[in-house]
Chain A
């Protein structure tokens, strides 16, 4: 990228970022980033239709994975669904396992429990006599341990008989084991205590096993819900905002915790504005010196280009009658901060797909020999903050606004000449510095009007949202994305 473009982009995005941050500073303090214009186009803010089916275009925008942008404090988006794709890949390199030390601990705990099982048998036999093969056969058990616990305690001492004996699980789950043994003889107390100690020793064995199962289960659920979204696990259908066709396949769920009515209210509140100013003057050749919001100037080939539907493009510093001596004001009137998130996975229902804790824990554990979630191979994504090269960002909020009103006030110009050359009846799209899109719409996002100044040498041209862009069907209504908050596993 040419230096002047880099500088222009840096200055514009940097200034816009500061304005955006200031606009929401009383309600939002995490850093905002400006968003480089994505292939998804503008943001369709009516995020669901009347049947509460999610807008496909909204989904396309918010489901991107984000990485550091090309300009200061900016971020750039992947194509639609990039975040879920990246998350799915990440899940594949995470496992839940015990450290070597705790695997040994598990084995030791099992050994301790086995030793205690021998004590149960020994105490039983010294009190009640040897357990013979015939006795075990009659009781229908294979081991002496099962004879004592399953048969003697489960059938005899419990009084349940052999038809509906207390199961081992019932005894292990009992709040008070003695209370379940009404027929226990007086001499059975020692065996009962032995069994209780055995069950206590089995606790860490079972808990460690449960932990392994639970960790593996969580990962399986996350993978299933991410890779095979369904209506029962939080997947959602989307609706094409142009055709109204609802997709037959389900995608991963996303949620916007802000009603469309509230967004509409915000956008109609034109008292809330974000303003950015620029001034230009002639530089060498056909270049312009531009100062963005009071910053040091830089040189650029064009300030603002207006591209109309027919294909013609007008450089607003070279249109007949204009001049290079002008000031530009950009005003976004009416903005809304919209929170959004992937559908969070919930352990109670196993609905949802995004759960950050395994990733956070795997990051802390790396590939070390420790307990918990860890990476079996290096993460395919940089999970750091965007400024540190992170490329696993997700949107948490978008600051959207109505299309900016851009007023260029020319000095040392020729209004009559401009008036003859310019038509107010065409609409088009605007590009700042030749490469920063200020919104795009097939029929032109902007219309224009002009007004003469004090004399023929001064006049202003104002670009504002075209009637075409404001009259589209509700589900296709778009807004300008001023900035976004991008979270990563390492924070904002």
Chain B
């Protein structure tokens, strides 16, 4: 807000040459001038837009510069194919480090960057967990030896001939004595599966059974110490299963994410795009969603009663006011008024320039008409169906894990993108919501105490633009950055 204070100080000069960005017309008291408003009123206007649309926004909305052009908002054709130009807008990456207006990259910037970031991720098993695995393996070996010992104490030494006979008959138990005890004696004989062609109990079935003894109806009484020890052996192995399974699952997850991002198709959530100019469609792209019903969006963007008028006045005597009138269509009009604090917005009391209340007041009037808030985003990856491509968890965890020696996702190499929030200069954001308006936004600054004239009326033209090529101005957006920063 200091910039505004500086602005006001500079405005005390008779020439009113207040040009923080060097792009302001000279103006006299009471005249209107067009200024680089974002450099002066940007934060106040952003706050006003957020208050006006609070009920519709999923996060803080930031103003977006128009250098990415307008957006073709009619996002799908009658055959359900997604508009290529809509995709080209919503798939841009958000750069949060480029000043007070958000800057977007070229089309496809976010999936391109996401693909690159996925290449940098891996799932790490910490030194401590590796040690646990080694210890568990050593412990398992001891428990395996004890199991065999208990069996042989109760039932006699297992001979090579017995193992060979078991293998000859059942194809199991030939490798070593432990397999003979568990796979043959427990899995076949004690489980009563030696006859009738029943399948032997597998090691996995026994290891995961809630009550092992209940699966072994023919177990002799002397077998109880053996199965107890075998159970401990299985539990020892299971104690590291979580680590092992997590590593496998994480590696699998990363592979699916890479696959679905780099090779989208009809099965994994990819989508075909349609060229809005010639109707052609090509290969598959990564999926993006638009939550708004096309009919609703069309109605909103064509409803001339949907208007958001924001009037911000700062007074040379201190403070300021914000007056917002929101027309939501069908006669629904809301008004929001609030004051700007003295301390932040006006700081001109010390100036030597004579002040008269009024002449140096500055008013910004902004009108956004035929507006709509569009909710969008990359198709989220689903673990259950393995469709979609965007999954923030590995990235967020890798950021959190940093270079620590922990088990979990980590960056193999530093990310080439700034993974901070928008405010902290992050460069890895995607678009979650967009504020569109059909009519050209009207933003006017009036100064010198003159009454702020309303924005000029919009000159309406016959709609000759083909439906799929209809564009709307993009005023602002809600972004999603890693670590939940928005």
Residues of A within 8 A of B (CB): 18, 21-22, 24-31, 48, 52, 98, 102, 123, 127-128, 172-179, 182, 184-190, 193-194, 196-197, 199-200, 203-204, 207-208, 210-211, 214, 255, 257-259, 261-262, 264-265, 268-269, 271-272, 294, 337, 339, 341-342, 344-349, 351-352, 354-357, 361, 364, 371-373, 396-397, 485, 487, 491-492
Determine whether the beta carbon of A25 is less than 8 Å from that of B261.
no
B144 within 8 A of partner (CB)? yes
Determine whether the beta carbon of A29 is less than 8 Å from that of B66.
yes
Give the one of A204, A255, A347 with max B CB within 10 A: A347
- Contact residues of B between 235 and 278, Cβ < 8 Å to A: 237, 240-241, 244-245, 247-249, 251-252, 255, 261-264, 270, 277-278
A173 to B247, CA, bound (A): 11
Determine whether the beta carbon of A184 is less than 8 Å from that of B252.
no
Neighbouring A residues of B69 by C-beta, 8 Å: 257-258, 339, 396-397
Min CB distance B288 to A, Å, is 11
Determine whether the beta carbon of B461 is less than 8 Å from that of A187.
no
24 A–B pairs (Cβ distance < 8 Å), ordered by A: A25-B35, A26-B440, A26-B444, A27-B66, A28-B65, A29-B65, A31-B23, A128-B176, A173-B255, A175-B248, A178-B245, A182-B202, A190-B140, A203-B123, A204-B412, A207-B120, A207-B412, A258-B70, A259-B471, A345-B108, A349-B282, A352-B107, A361-B416, A371-B413
Determine whether the beta carbon of A187 is less than 8 Å from that of B122.
no
B98 within 8 A of partner (CB)? yes
Determine whether the beta carbon of B66 is less than 8 Å from that of A24.
yes
Which 9 interchain pairs have the tightest Cβ spacing? Answer: A339-B69, A186-B182, A26-B443, A175-B252, A28-B66, A259-B469, A344-B106, A185-B179, A344-B107
Determine whether the beta carbon of A193 is less than 8 Å from that of B67.
no
Determine whether the beta carbon of B285 is less than 8 Å from that of A349.
yes
Neighbouring B residues of A352 by C-beta, 8 Å: 107-108
Min CB distance B392 to A, Å, is 18
A221 to B88, CA, bound (A): 19
| Interface of A: prevailing SS | mixed
A168 to B136, CA, bound (A): 26
Determine whether the beta carbon of A185 is less than 8 Å from that of B262.
no
| Cβ contacts B18-36/A at 8 Å (1 or 0 each) | 0000010110000000111
Neighbouring B residues of A186 by C-beta, 8 Å: 178-179, 181-183, 203, 230, 233
Determine whether the beta carbon of A269 is less than 8 Å from that of B67.
no
Neighbouring B residues of A361 by C-beta, 8 Å: 416
Min CB distance A171 to B, Å, is 10
Neighbouring B residues of A355 by C-beta, 8 Å: 106, 112
Known: A187-B175, A204-B122. A356 touches B285 (CB 8 A): no
Known: A176-B248, A257-B88, A265-B465. A346 touches B112 (CB 8 A): yes
| Interface of B: prevailing SS | mixed
Known: A25-B34, A48-B277, A187-B178. A265 touches B464 (CB 8 A): yes
Neighbouring B residues of A185 by C-beta, 8 Å: 172-173, 175, 179, 182-183, 203
Min CB distance A467 to B, Å, is 24
Smallest CB-CB separation from A206: which chain B residue? B122
A187 to B207, CA, bound (A): 12
Neighbouring A residues of B416 by C-beta, 8 Å: 357, 361, 364, 372-373
- Contact residues of B between 264 and 318, Cβ < 8 Å to A: 264, 270, 277-278, 282-286
- Contact residues of B between 66 and 105, Cβ < 8 Å to A: 66-70, 72, 85, 88-89, 98, 101, 105
B137 within 8 A of partner (CB)? yes
Neighbouring B residues of A204 by C-beta, 8 Å: 122, 412
Neighbouring A residues of B237 by C-beta, 8 Å: 189-190, 193
Smallest CB-CB separation from A212: which chain B residue? B119
- Contact residues of B between 100 and 153, Cβ < 8 Å to A: 101, 105-109, 111-113, 115-116, 119-125, 130, 133, 137, 140-141, 144
Known: A102-B413, A128-B175, A174-B252. A354 touches B101 (CB 8 A): no
Determine whether the beta carbon of B464 is less than 8 Å from that of A264.
yes
Determine whether the beta carbon of B35 is less than 8 Å from that of A211.
no
Neighbouring A residues of B35 by C-beta, 8 Å: 25
Min CB distance B86 to A, Å, is 10
Min CB distance A16 to B, Å, is 13
Determine whether the beta carbon of B245 is less than 8 Å from that of A187.
no
Neighbouring A residues of B204 by C-beta, 8 Å: 178-179, 182, 184
Within 8 Å by CB of A269, from B141, B263, B459, lies B459
Min CB distance A92 to B, Å, is 21
A347 to B130, CA, bound (A): 36
Neighbouring A residues of B122 by C-beta, 8 Å: 203-204, 207
A158 to B459, CA, bound (A): 73
Min CB distance A292 to B, Å, is 14
Neighbouring B residues of A24 by C-beta, 8 Å: 66
Determine whether the beta carbon of B441 is less than 8 Å from that of A196.
no
B37 within 8 A of partner (CB)? yes
Determine whether the beta carbon of A294 is less than 8 Å from that of B26.
yes
Determine whether the beta carbon of A348 is less than 8 Å from that of B465.
no
Neighbouring A residues of B23 by C-beta, 8 Å: 18, 21-22, 25, 31
Known: A185-B179, A208-B412, A259-B471. A214 touches B119 (CB 8 A): yes
Give the one of A174, A203, A342, A364 with max B CB within 10 A: A203
Neighbouring A residues of B263 by C-beta, 8 Å: 348
Determine whether the beta carbon of A30 is less than 8 Å from that of B119.
no
Smallest CB-CB separation from B140: which chain A residue? A190
Determine whether the beta carbon of A257 is less than 8 Å from that of B70.
yes
B442 within 8 A of partner (CB)? yes
Within 8 Å by CB of A345, from B26, B112, B141, B241, lies B112
Determine whether the beta carbon of A176 is less than 8 Å from that of B245.
yes
Known: A26-B440, A203-B122, A204-B412. A348 touches B264 (CB 8 A): yes
B51 within 8 A of partner (CB)? no
A214 to B263, CA, bound (A): 13
Min CB distance A471 to B, Å, is 20
Determine whether the beta carbon of B175 is less than 8 Å from that of A127.
yes
A342 to B264, CA, bound (A): 23
B414 within 8 A of partner (CB)? yes
Min CB distance A255 to B, Å, is 8
Determine whether the beta carbon of A268 is less than 8 Å from that of B65.
no
* Given A200-B247, A346-B111, A347-B261: 7 more A-B contacts, CB < 8 Å: A26-B443, A172-B251, A200-B123, A207-B119, A207-B120, A261-B464, A492-B67
A208 to B172, CA, bound (A): 41
B466 within 8 A of partner (CB)? yes
Smallest CB-CB separation from B414: which chain A residue? A371
Determine whether the beta carbon of B461 is less than 8 Å from that of A269.
yes
B190 within 8 A of partner (CB)? no
Neighbouring B residues of A28 by C-beta, 8 Å: 65-67
